[in-house]
């Protein structure tokens, strides 16, 4: 265990500055050990080729993992490849500003690390780590993992990128709850540095250490989270966005003024309404409704807001639909 912490620390200098956190973290969680210690993750299979899935595939491929991106059909995979191609262009331009040949070499090398597949079983045969980023539906995720549990190698670690469902509930569909955790990435994945690494009561220390290590090898900064609603970021972010909606609903300020206030007064890169449009208003509503049903969070924090419910009912989901609190020029376009 200590050697694993040292490995994480040497890969992530920030971790070396937090020896106390590592100790606290170790004593705060159960440390059941597992017979399987796949510390040498090489092959990653990602289920889901949407914005999050494609982003995870890209970041893994950029950092020399062999990655397979899986989705239900070639059209979905093509969309994922397009997301990766356009993001890689931005990254390449930033890394090699004046050198078109190096940009191309970087893009080609990254793309060569990525395979695509619509065959879930075949795509899981060599996986050391499977990351699921499919639709936010507990049953669908459980069905996928139940199937994968039967076909993936024993040592394979399973992870969900869910933003709001309990990892422990998804893991229950498998017999490898000790090798199951959460890896929660943030949008846009290639740009956002954080990954929340979620461990359930049953996630083994070896599995947790491996996940932390994978994140640092992806050049992300991992933080350890318990399996609680919203983990850390969404637990704070979603109630904040809901409270912003209430300010507007009470007529105290406009969305524009709230956004300007939080950008210029609190230094946030986006105001709460811009962020809500970016995350997706349907996603926000899904998270809040789910938490309210679960009953684990103070009712006042997750009370419904008519403004949000109405926009979602009208199909105004934010950037992805072209209209949210703000209009967008074309799907996912700029304001
Ligand atoms: N791929 C690669 N790089 C990207 C990118 C992408 N898709 N999108 C943005 N970037 C990079 C740009 O290259 C640029 O890099 P640089 O600063 O090093 O040159 C940087 O991001 C800024 O991009 P832009 O100049 O185009 O645009 P902005 O300055 O307006 O920034 C933003 C865009 C990065 C999205 C910024 O507004 C931001 O950080 N917003 C907050 C995002 C956030 O909070 N995300 C978390 C949402 S919650 C979540 O995902 C959890 C889920 O469970 C709900």
Which residue puts its alpha carbon closest to atom 36 of ligand 1? 269
Distance CA 195, CA 216 (A): 9
The mean per-residue pLDDT over the stretch 174-178 comes to 98
- Per-domain boundaries in the chain: 2-226, 235-321
Name the pLDDT band for 169 (thresholds 50, 70, 90). Answer: very high
117 class by beta-carbon count within 10 Å (0-12 exposed, 13-18 middle, 19+ buried): middle
Distance CA 137, CA 110 (A): 31
Contact predicate 83/51, CB 8 Å: yes
Beta partners for residue 221, in sequence order? 194
The mean per-residue pLDDT over the stretch 210-221 comes to 97
Distance CA 35, CA 49 (A): 32
Which residues belong to the active site?
163, 184, 196, 234
CATH of 2-226 given 3.30.310.40, 3.90.50.10, 1.10.3480.10, 3.40.50.720: 3.40.50.720
Contact predicate 170/162, CB 8 Å: yes
Which residue puts its alpha carbon closest to atom 9 of ligand 1? 191
CA 218 to mean position of chain CA atoms = 13
Quote the pLDDT of residue 40.
87
What are the tens digits of pLDDT across the range 137-146?
Answer: 999 999 999 9
Say which residue the tokens 């017979």 belong to: 35
What are the tens digits of pLDDT across the range 218-270?
Answer: 999 999 999 999 999 999 999 999 999 999 999 999 999 999 999 999 999 99
Q: Where does ligand 1 bind, in terms of residues with CB under 6 Å?
A: 87, 90-91, 94, 163, 186-188, 190-192, 234, 269-270, 275, 279, 283
Please provide the average confidence, as pLDDT, over all residues in the chain.
90
Which residue puts its alpha carbon closest to atom 35 of ligand 1? 188
Tell me how far the alpha carbon of residue 191 lies from the centroid of ligand 1, in angstroms: 6
CATH architecture for residues 235-321: Orthogonal Bundle (1.10)
What are the tens digits of pLDDT across the range 240-249?
Answer: 999 999 999 9
């Amino acid at each position: 265990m200590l050697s694993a912490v040292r490995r994480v620390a040497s890969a992530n200098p920030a971790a070396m500055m937090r020896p106390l956190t590592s100790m606290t973290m170790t004593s705060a969680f159960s440390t059941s050990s597992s017979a399987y210690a796949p510390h040498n993750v090489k092959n990653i299979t990602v289920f889901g080729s949407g914005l999050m899935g494609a982003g995870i595939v890209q970041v893994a491929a950029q950092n020399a993992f062999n990655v397979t991106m899986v989705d239900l059909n070639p059209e979905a995979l093509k969309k994922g490849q397009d997301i990766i191609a356009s993001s890689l262009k931005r990254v390449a331009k930033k890394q090699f500003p004046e050198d078109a040949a190096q940009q191309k070499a970087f893009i080609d090398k990254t793309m060569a690390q990525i395979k695509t597949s619509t065959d879930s079983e075949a795509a899981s045969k060599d996986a050391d780590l499977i990351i699921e980023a499919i639709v936010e539906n507990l049953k669908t995720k459980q069905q996928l993992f139940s199937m994968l549990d039967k076909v993936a190698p024993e040592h394979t670690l399973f992870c969900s990128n869910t933003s709001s469902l309990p990892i422990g509930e998804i893991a229950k569909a498998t017999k490898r709850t000790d090798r199951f955790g959460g890896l929660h990435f943030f949008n846009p994945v290639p740009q956002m540095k954080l990954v929340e690494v979620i461990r359930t009561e049953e996630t083994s220390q070896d599995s947790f250490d491996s996940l932390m290590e994978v994140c640092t090898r992806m050049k992300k900064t991992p933080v350890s989270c318990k399996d609680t609603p919203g983990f850390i970021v969404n637990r704070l972010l979603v109630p904040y966005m809901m409270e912003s909606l209430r300010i507007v609903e009470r007529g105290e300020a406009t969305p524009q003024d709230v956004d300007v206030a939080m950008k210029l007064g609190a230094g946030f890169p986006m105001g709460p309404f811009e962020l809500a449009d970016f995350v997706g208003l349907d996603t926000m509503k899904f998270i809040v409704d789910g938490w309210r049903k679960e009953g684990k969070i103070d009712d006042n924090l997750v009370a419904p807001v008519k403004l949000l419910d109405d926009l979602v009912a009208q199909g105004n989901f934010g950037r992805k639909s072209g209209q949210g609190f703000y209009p967008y020029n074309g799907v996912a376009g700029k304001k």
